[in-house]
Amino acid sequence: MSAARLPRDLHPVAWWLWALGLAAVGSLTLNPLLLMTVIGVAVVTVTLRRGDHPWSRAFRIYVWLAVVIVVLRVLFRVLLGGGYGGTVILRLPEIPLPDVVLGIQLLGDVTAENVLGGFYDGLRLATLVLCVGAANALANPKRLLKSVPPALYEIGTVLVVAVTVVPQLADSARRVRAAQRLRPGPTGRVRSLRRFLVPILEDALERSLSLAAGMDVRGYGRSGDVPARQRLRTGALMVLGLMGVAVGTYAVLDTTAPRWLALPMLLGGLGVAVLGMLSAGRAVVRTRYRPDRWRAAEIAVVASGLGAAVLGWWVSTYQPVVAYPELLSVPQLSLTGLAAGLLGLVAAFAAPPPVLATGGPPAAFLVREREGAAA
């Protein structure tokens, strides 16, 4: 086995870009075959390459969410979508509604177009949800937040702490609920809410104080020796850049604005903002321990995701029959379309297996040694 295939954690940004690529393919088509292919690729990759951390186990929740979305879509079409004609496959009694809600029909004839349209639409949404879920299961959200540029470090820290606090809050809620059942006390609805909330809030406050103390004694927020002049320069660059971005975005969206205000302004603003970030980043004294590095595997994963997105875009532009099939005909899949769906699977094999938190099996020679000792 070459060194590149040994277990290690892939750069979280690589997984996210890959997942966004898959999501792009999904959002550019209504072809159920293509959507199913994308879903299959996401599920296979997650199964092969996720670790055993809590966030990896959360993928199941996304799967359930996706199923619920598809079922709800179809159900709503059946409930409300009648009255537009088409091939009737089931006749249900129509529930009469007052004239105020004109245009809405409750139940009534169920048409194949309706059901299929709802199914395709739901499938597309489910694909997007599963792609995000896959990224979440494959990449450590905390490491992703840590990959932000140094200038955004403070925001990253706030997000990391917020991510940590949620499971802790759930723990403390469970503990307090159990503890309050141990004592006699009032049982009214409002009063029991108080019994429950007060200890949790106290606990949360105490936790945040000890976390703040823990971060402070470990040197968080040390003032680097940044001269006032540089601080001023950084601030000015950031403000100017953000203003440029705001004006540029407005001009891009509002077609009546002068054209020189649109793209040039947006790009100029972005450029200035990046300069500001670089300037801020230079003033930061912090360093990163074992930063995630970009290697061949990362590039392959990103390339497979983005490649799939490009193919998906090509299909939706030049093969509209494949991307948006007729509702009543059997959907077709072109070779390019299939390639767009399957290209993402490259990531599952390009990425190395993850490092497991629980540790792998013991080394073979250790087992032998132990057996020898036992004998």
User: Which residues are near another protein by CB under 8 A?
Assistant: 53-54, 142, 160-161, 164, 175-176, 178-187, 194-195, 198-199, 202-203, 206-207, 209-222, 224, 284-291, 355-357, 359
Q: What is the total residue count of the chain?
A: 375
Q: How far is the CB of 147 from another protein (least distance, A)?
A: 14
Instruction: List, in order, residues 6 or more apart from 87 with CB less than 8 Å away.
Output: 111, 112, 113, 328
Q: How far is the CB of 163 from another protein (least distance, A)?
A: 9
C-beta closer to another protein: residue 104 or 357: 357
C-beta closer to another protein: residue 8 or 319: 8
Cα(267)–Cα(248) distance, integer angstroms:
8
E strands present in the chain: 88-95, 106-111
C-beta closer to another protein: residue 185 or 271: 185
In order, the DSSP letters of 48-102 are HH--SSHHHHTHHHHHHHHHHHHHHHHHHHHHH--SS-S-EEEEEEEEP--GGGT
C-beta closer to another protein: residue 85 or 360: 360
Q: How far is the CB of 198 from another protein (least distance, A)?
A: 4
Distances from the Cα of 330 to the Cα of 55, 119, 280, 322, 339, angstroms:
38, 14, 57, 11, 19
Q: How far is the CB of 284 from another protein (least distance, A)?
A: 8
C-beta closer to another protein: residue 7 or 271: 7
Compute the C-alpha angle 95/101/104, nearest 5°.
60
Residue 330, burial from CB neighbour count under 10 angstroms (0-12, 13-18, 19+): exposed
Q: How far is the CB of 353 from another protein (least distance, A)?
A: 14
Distances from the Cα of 91 to the Cα of 72, 79, 105, 164, angstroms:
20, 12, 13, 52
C-beta closer to another protein: residue 150 or 325: 150
C-beta closer to another protein: residue 40 or 281: 281
Q: What are phi and psi of 87, to 5 degrees?
A: -80, 115
Q: How far is the CB of 2 from another protein (least distance, A)?
A: 22
Q: How far is the CB of 133 from another protein (least distance, A)?
A: 20
Q: How far is the CB of 283 from another protein (least distance, A)?
A: 11
C-beta closer to another protein: residue 91 or 288: 288
Cα(290)–Cα(247) distance, integer angstroms:
39
Distances from the Cα of 365 to the Cα of 115, 325, 368, 375, angstroms:
60, 59, 5, 15
Q: How many helices (H) and strands (E) does the chain have?
A: 15, 2
